[in-house]
Structure 1
Amino acid sequence: MAREAAPRVQVDTLLSEHSPAKMLIELSESAHMVVLGSRRGGAVSHLGSTILAVAAHGSGTIVAVREDGDEITGGPVVVGVDGSPVSDTAVAAAFAEAWQRHTGATVALGQRQRLYRLGTLTVPRPIPPGRPRIAGEADRELLIRWHDEFVAAVGSGVFQDAAEWADARIEQGGVTFWETPGGTPAAMAGTTPEVAGQVRVSAVYTPSHLRGRGYAGAATAEVSRAALAAGVQEVLLFTDLANPTSNGLYQRIGYRPVADFAVYDFAGPSASA
């Protein structure tokens, strides 16, 4: 049915003999949205046990669709919030749905992000061989290439032109390499200019063939240390929640969660109406 309704959309089928709730909860950790159907009544207490389990323990956006519910056209989008951190995510999902109805634009959840603030800096051990070095004019072509590779790896968002980004970072001293003992850059981490006592760590990148050796952690710890030494009040960074490796790394360095965000992509002739 799904393939007939949207032939251009990739549809994968997964059959499992295990508990559906457990499987869906595990899958939700890397999914943008989990949609579940119910053949039972409309009250929450009458929803199936699988839906209740996934709603309570799953990650991301969970949508329950009733079989016997009559669709109401033109009605409002209702969202309930309780002041908890997840309330912002709920409001974002409700806005995306309302905007799609209002404009006819295509809406897709592009990424779930988490904002972190640096607490007590902890340099990850063991420190990989090598040393930090601030990128200079001689590194311009490498910065451009790594910026493009970073953008391709991230896969979503709005990014500055690579050459403009490299020139600005060189002028500001805003990118630090972690070099091997032989002087070859192995990873980079950048920081934005200070605004209101805050800087944000960005563009943390390691080429694929050099990953898993601690270079990105060392570079991130170094730019964090340098920011604190420069007297900034707060060091922040955003992560993709679908990447457990980077989230785990930043927490080991000393970054603590502040808030979660949902990034939606709007497309179509009425996307900016």
Structure 2
Amino acid sequence: MKFNVFTQAQEFEDKAKPFLTENDDVYSLFYGVLQGIKAGRYENPFMATIEVNDVIVALFQMTPPHPLNLIIIDESKMDDIITFSVDELFKLKLPINSAVGVKSVVTTFSEKWQETSKCKSRLLMNQGLYRLDQVDQSLEKSPGSWRYARKDEAPLLALWFKAFEKDTGLKNSPMEAIKEKVNQFLEDEEVFFWEDQGKIVSMMKKARPSERGVTVSFVYTPPEERKKGYARTMVAAGSEELLKTYDFCVLYTDMMNPTSNKIYQEIGYRKIADSIHIEFMEEGL
């Protein structure tokens, strides 16, 4: 096996793209972050492959302080590939604080990484990855209509971003960082609002577009507007709009939240993979 580290995003994409394009629903996160690396949105990105006889069997990507994202292409040799990768990554002294990806792969990596680096771990997110090709037209819709968020609505979006982080257990971002992200969302026309009788009651955004697909993320309804079907209707309408441009939509759900999983399946989303995010900590913490 040969462990290859890349410094040029385009060179890495040339190697990874054939596999990622063929599997761009399951690995939409990996491919989307790679596009961000190419656009210069991350500092000190890490990109690597493992090859056997010039055939790629694994892909690695990290944009510190974000998690290591790993893909094992030949899962029949997963134990050997991960053992080799852990040894190579440990030699590089990379600051791997967490890992994300397909559940079976990240679970195996976590076990090996803990043995080698003498750390412990905890589960941050246990998620289902769902794909939509067509919205169920029999779905009952809530009153109102969707529209793109306007730039003058940035303050509301920033407040909802903060609330979304709290609801989902994500680390709290500084408000300045949130405002910067929100302004970029609005500049790129990525945010959809659901409005009922002139009041904004729910939202979603699109993210990480590829040649064929796009991710639905940041689905949020404020507490006082919940249990009225707004989120389901917003995601259905927003996804239907996105399907005019893309072949499919994908989204991640919290597997500990049966309500959200049920809602997305009612829209027409079907589960295609299990994904987990595991954090690593020093022993004793």
TM (norm. structure 2) is 0.59
The answer to whether the 8 A contact 2:166-2:172 is kept is no
Aligned to 2:186, which of 163, 166, 170? 170
Equivalent of 1:194, from 209, 223, 238? 209
1:211 match: 226
Amino acid at match of 1:166: V
Residues 85-120 of structure 1, C-alpha deviations (whole Å, 9 max, x = no match): xxx534422321221121122311111111111032
In the other structure, the counterpart of 2:242 is 227
Aligned residue runs from structure 1 range 145-156, under 5 A:
145-156=159-170
Provide the secondary structure at the position in 1 that maps to 2:243: helix
Q: Does 1:110 align with 2:129?
A: no
Match of 2:196 among 180, 190, 193: 180
Contact 1:114 1:260 in 2 (8 A): yes
User: 2 CA distance for matches of 1:105 and 1:214?
Assistant: 43
SS of aligned partner of 1:96 = helix
Structure in which a larger fraction of residues adopt strand: 2
Report what 1:133 is aligned to: 147
Which residue in the other structure is 1:252 paired with? 266
Q: How far did residue 196 of structure 1 move?
A: 2.2
CA distance in 2 between counterparts of 1:107 and 1:158 reads 20
**Unaligned runs of at least 5 residues, structure 2:** 1-77, 81-101
Identity %: 32
Shift of 1:79: 6.4
Deviation at 1:158? 9.3
In structure 2, the partner of 1:29 is none
Q: Between Structure 1 and Structure 2, how many residues are aligned? A: 184
The 1:91–1:200 alpha-carbon spacing in structure 2 relative to 1, beyond 3 Å, is closer
CA distance in 1, matches of 2:134, 2:172: 31
CA distance in 1, matches of 2:172, 2:136: 31
How does 1:7-46 map onto structure 2 within 5 Å? Answer: none
Could you tell me which residue of structure 2 aligns to residue 71 of structure 1? none
The one-letter code matched in structure 2 to 1:249 is: I
Q: Which amino acid aligns with 1:191?
A: K
The question of 1:143 aligning with 2:157 is answered: yes
- Match of 2:180, as an amino acid? E
Aligned-residue CA RMSD (Å): 2.5
Give the Cα–Cα distance (whole angstroms) in 2 for the partners of residues 214 and 123 of structure 1: 15
Give 5+ residue unaligned stretches, structure 1.
1-77, 81-87
Q: Spell out, residue by residue over 1:241-261, the C-alpha distance to the aligned partner (whole angstroms, 9 max, x if none).
A: 111111101110010111101
CA offset at residue 193 of structure 1? Answer: 4.6
| Alpha carbons of structure 1 residues 157 and 250: separation in structure 2 relative to 1, 3 Å | farther
